[in-house]
Structure 1
Amino acid sequence: MSQILKSLKVPPNSASLEEARTRTFEFFRMCCRSIPHVMEIYNLHDVVSPSQLRSAAAAEVRKNANVTNPKVIDMLLFKGMEELMNIVNQSKQRHHIVGQYVVGNQGLVQDVSGKDRDASNFLKKFYSSNYS
């Protein structure tokens, strides 16, 4: 795992869109290589599979697929490397990883919608206005 930490360094700015694209693929590969270690240190085997974590990482990368400015891509890669370093260095706790990458943004809405079956109309409107 120390090899992953050594490879987490901020590269110089990309000269072109193609170079930024190549760095994005390298970053994604680095994320995929760190998944077994992350699964082990956060004990995620009972919650998620490695392929589901890979899919979550791919979804995070794809969120910014429409960005074409190499400087913006470099900034996003820097933020991604910082996030990966925080995860690998155990700067986050297990519930942070589960909440952000396993359950995702829709988890709270799904949990609330299942709980409000027996709620009054007022509570249903309140939940939908605050979580939608």
Structure 2
Amino acid sequence: MALSWQIAKSTATKPPSASMEEAKHRVLDFFREACRALPVLMDTYNLDEVITQSELRSQIAAAFRKHSAVTNPKVVDMLVFKGKEELQDCLDHSKQRHHLISTYVVGTEGQISLKKLGTVDHGESHFLKNFYQSNLF
């Protein structure tokens, strides 16, 4: 619970970053907070079945890299604030397991092996391929 309180305390509004260097330090501090929270999230949402901790850390790092071209310190501060809110929602269990899986395991690309989730891929059968093909028109 101390970790949850610590992140909630850090989501309080601070004055905007004066420079890009200060904003960069805030981003790195938040990334460290997120990485420290991963074991708690893995345990809380039972994510060991679908993703490893290192893979999840890579997904989070990819989300950070997605906004690497932002050069306005105020925008960086806003993204850090939104990220802290997201992390706090996850730690407070305000999200359900499938929210995290669809956001961080499957992602926007939808690239995941269904067999990894323990389900059977029925789309590979000859019958269903013909069925889908016949219903396109």
Same fold (TM over 0.5): yes
Match of 1:115 in 2: 123
- Which of 67, 70, 77 is the aligned partner of 1:67? 70
Letter in 1 for 2:22: E
2:100 & 2:18 partners in 1: Cα distance? 33
Q: How does 1:17-96 map to 2 (within 5 A)?
A: 17-96=20-99
Q: TM-score, normalised by structure 1?
A: 0.82
Gaps of 5+ in 1: 127-132
CA contact (8 A) 1:39 1:45 kept: yes
Secondary structure of the 1:107 match is: coil
- Tell me by how many angstroms 1:106 deviates: 1.6
Letter in 1 for 2:35: C
How many residue pairs were aligned? 122
Letter in 1 for 2:133: S
2:123 & 2:112 partners in 1: Cα distance? 10
- Tell me by how many angstroms 1:12 deviates: 2.2
2:11 & 2:101 partners in 1: Cα distance? 26
2:41 & 2:112 partners in 1: Cα distance? 27
1:101 & 1:80 partners in 2: Cα distance? 13
Runs of 4+ in 1 over 2 A off after TM superposition: 7-12, 108-111, 114-117
Which has the higher Rg, Structure 1 or Structure 2? Answer: 2
User: What is the identity percentage for the equivalent residue pairs of Structure 1 and Structure 2?
Assistant: 46
